[in-house]
């Protein structure tokens, strides 16, 4: 490569205001994240209006910090990347408007990025040898997808959730057992003190689509278990409920993923999204992939949950393909993976 390519990336699709500078797609020079979690905790979940307002307050600061930490000037950037969907419309609009304004003022090209493409691309940051094709399980607060990554930017979704996303199930069960928001990390932590075989919760199968997921039945089973214990006056061991629920989610995710990798024959498997930072999930995949001779890739936890470095990485490969967006780029809250709105 003759010239280094620098991307300034912005992410504001949910409750993290983030900016990063990424060199040549895989070299993260800075990764600044302002997490709003503390603000939303008292409401038990993300409040969209609060998220948008906080993004407006923080976005300039976060971008300035990202450039400062990267020791780069805005004018040295080759592209301004921004998440334009899916996500909360008001939250997305803050990042999109900011990126368009910077692009308009400086003449630096604008590249809109799909949030899930960002999550998948987080795997490229620390795994310098990882190249498509591979299979990726994307498990976040809003999505559970099993994806064949055929080429950079080319995806085929072979499995998806029929109801709740995996992270959503973690958050709802955590609320039911009194752990609060966000539930995933809390269930992860207390499960280490619990017995995953203490309670048998169902592993849902979706009859007509072998790679699809369903987590709402599992969530209801946990709620029913809690109600029945309360009615019978039986003690609820929170750690055991958390560990048994987590085991049920992991069993289904592992089973579907390994079956897909075997069927598609690429022997490379990656995980992405907030739930991918779950320690028991990682251990289960490490074990199963080793047994099956499959190379297993995962990002560090900081690149699993929402961040802008992953958006910069995804944007780099789009930029190389010649993707540029105009100032009519808009937030698309329900953007589909593989769909490009130019």
Sorted by sequence, the CB contacts under 8 Å of residue 84 that are 6+ apart come out as 92, 95, 96, 112, 113, 114, 325, 329, 330, 331, 332, 335, 341
Q: Which is nearer to ligand KG4, 181 or 264 (CB)?
A: 181
Among ligand KG4, Zn ion, none, what does residue 171 contact (CB within 5–8 Å per kind)? ligand KG4
CB of 279 to Zn ion, least distance (A): 19
CB of 7 to ligand KG4, least distance (A): 20
- Return the range that interacts with Zn ion (CB under 5 A); candidates 135-143, 196-204, 239-247, 252-260: 135-143
CA–CA dist 144, 166 (Å, integer):
6
CB of 171 to ligand KG4, least distance (A): 5
Residue 138's nearest CA partner among 154, 157, 163, 162 is 157
Number of alpha carbons in the 13 Å side-chain half-sphere of residue 260: 27
Instruction: Determine, following the binding rule CB under 6 A, whether residue 305 of this chain makes contact with ligand KG4.
Output: yes
Residue 256's nearest CA partner among 152, 179, 150, 145 is 145
Contact 270/294 with Cβ under 8 angstroms? no
Q: Which is nearer to Zn ion, 171 or 306 (CB)?
A: 306
Among Zn ion, ligand KG4, none, what does residue 305 contact (CB within 5–8 Å per kind)? ligand KG4
Instruction: Determine, following the binding rule CB under 6 A, whether residue 164 of this chain makes contact with ligand KG4.
Output: no
Q: Which is nearer to Zn ion, 95 or 194 (CB)?
A: 95
Return the bridge partners of 295, or none.
268
Binding mask 70-99 for Zn ion (x = CB under 5 A): ------------------------------
| Biggest CA pair distance of the chain | 71
CA–CA dist 170, 242 (Å, integer):
9
Binding residue for ligand KG4 (CB under 6 A) from 153, 194, 274, 299? 274
Q: Which is nearer to ligand KG4, 151 or 339 (CB)?
A: 339
86 prior amide bond cis, ω within 30: yes
CA–CA dist 300, 282 (Å, integer):
11
Instruction: Determine, following the binding rule CB under 6 A, whether residue 81 of this chain makes contact with ligand KG4.
Output: no
Query: How many C-beta neighbours within 10 Å does residue 196 have?
Result: 17
Instruction: Determine, following the binding rule CB under 6 A, whether residue 142 of this chain makes contact with ligand KG4.
Output: yes
Instruction: Determine, following the binding rule CB under 6 A, whether residue 45 of this chain makes contact with ligand KG4.
Output: no
- Return the range that interacts with ligand KG4 (CB under 6 A); candidates 42-50, 181-189, 217-225, 287-295: 181-189
Q: Which is nearer to Zn ion, 239 or 306 (CB)?
A: 306
Binding residue for ligand KG4 (CB under 6 A) from 52, 140, 144, 214? 140
Binding residue for ligand KG4 (CB under 6 A) from 85, 118, 182, 299? 182
Instruction: Determine, following the binding rule CB under 6 A, whether residue 313 of this chain makes contact with ligand KG4.
Output: no
Instruction: Determine, following the binding rule CB under 5 A, whether residue 140 of this chain makes contact with Zn ion.
Output: yes
Burial of 26 (0-12, 13-18, 19+ CB in 10 A): middle
- Return the range that interacts with ligand KG4 (CB under 6 A); candidates 153-161, 163-171, 259-267, 329-337: 163-171
CA–CA dist 276, 139 (Å, integer):
6
Instruction: Determine, following the binding rule CB under 6 A, whether residue 188 of this chain makes contact with ligand KG4.
Output: yes
Write the CA distances from 250 to 93, 218, 256, integer angstroms.
34, 12, 10
CB of 278 to Zn ion, least distance (A): 14
CA–CA dist 197, 44 (Å, integer):
29
Binding residue for ligand KG4 (CB under 6 A) from 278, 313, 323, 329? 278
Q: Write out the binding residues for Zn ion, residues 298-317 only, by CB under 5 A.
A: 306
Binding site for Zn ion (CB under 5 A): 140, 306
């Amino acid at each position: 490569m003759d010239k280094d390519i620098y991307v300034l990336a912005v992410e504001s699709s949910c409750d993290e205001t983030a900016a990063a500078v990424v060199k040549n797609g895989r070299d993260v020079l800075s990764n600044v994240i302002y997490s709003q979690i503390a603000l939303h905790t008292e409401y038990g979940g993300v409040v969209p209006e609060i998220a948008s307002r906080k993004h407006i307050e923080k976005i300039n600061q976060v971008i300035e910090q990202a450039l400062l930490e990267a020791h780069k000037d805005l004018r040295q950037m080759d592209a301004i990347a921004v998440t334009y969907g899916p996500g909360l419309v008001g939250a997305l609009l803050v990042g999109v408007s900011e990126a368009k304004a910077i692009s308009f003022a400086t003449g630096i090209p604008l590249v809109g990025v799909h949030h899930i493409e960002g999550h998948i691309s987080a795997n490229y940051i620390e795994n310098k040898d990882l190249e498509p094709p591979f299979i990726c399980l994307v498990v976040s607060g809003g999505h559970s997808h099993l994806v064949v990554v055929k080429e950079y930017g080319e995806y085929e979704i072979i499995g998806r959730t029929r109801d709740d996303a995996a992270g959503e199930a973690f958050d709802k069960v955590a609320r039911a057992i009194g752990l609060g928001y966000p539930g995933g990390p809390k269930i992860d932590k207390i499960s280490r003190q619990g017995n995953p075989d203490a309670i048998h919760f169902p592993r849902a199968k979706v009859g007509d689509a072998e790679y699809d997921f369903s987590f709402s039945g599992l969530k209801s089973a946990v709620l029913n278990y809690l109600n029945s214990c309360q009615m019978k006056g039986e003690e609820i061991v929170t750690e055991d409920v958390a560990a048994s629920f987590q085991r049920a989610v992991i069993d289904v995710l592992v089973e579907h993923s390994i079956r897909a990798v075997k069927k598609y024959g690429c022997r490379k498997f990656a995980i992405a999204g907030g739930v991918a930072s779950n320690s028991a999930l990682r251990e289960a995949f490490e074990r199963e992939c080793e047994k099956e001779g499959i190379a297993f890739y995962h990002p560090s936890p900081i690149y699993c949950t929402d961040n802008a470095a992953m958006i910069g990485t995804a944007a780099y490969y789009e930029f190389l393909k010649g993707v540029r967006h105009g100032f009519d780029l808009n937030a698309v809250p329900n953007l589909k993976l593989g769909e490009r709105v130019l």
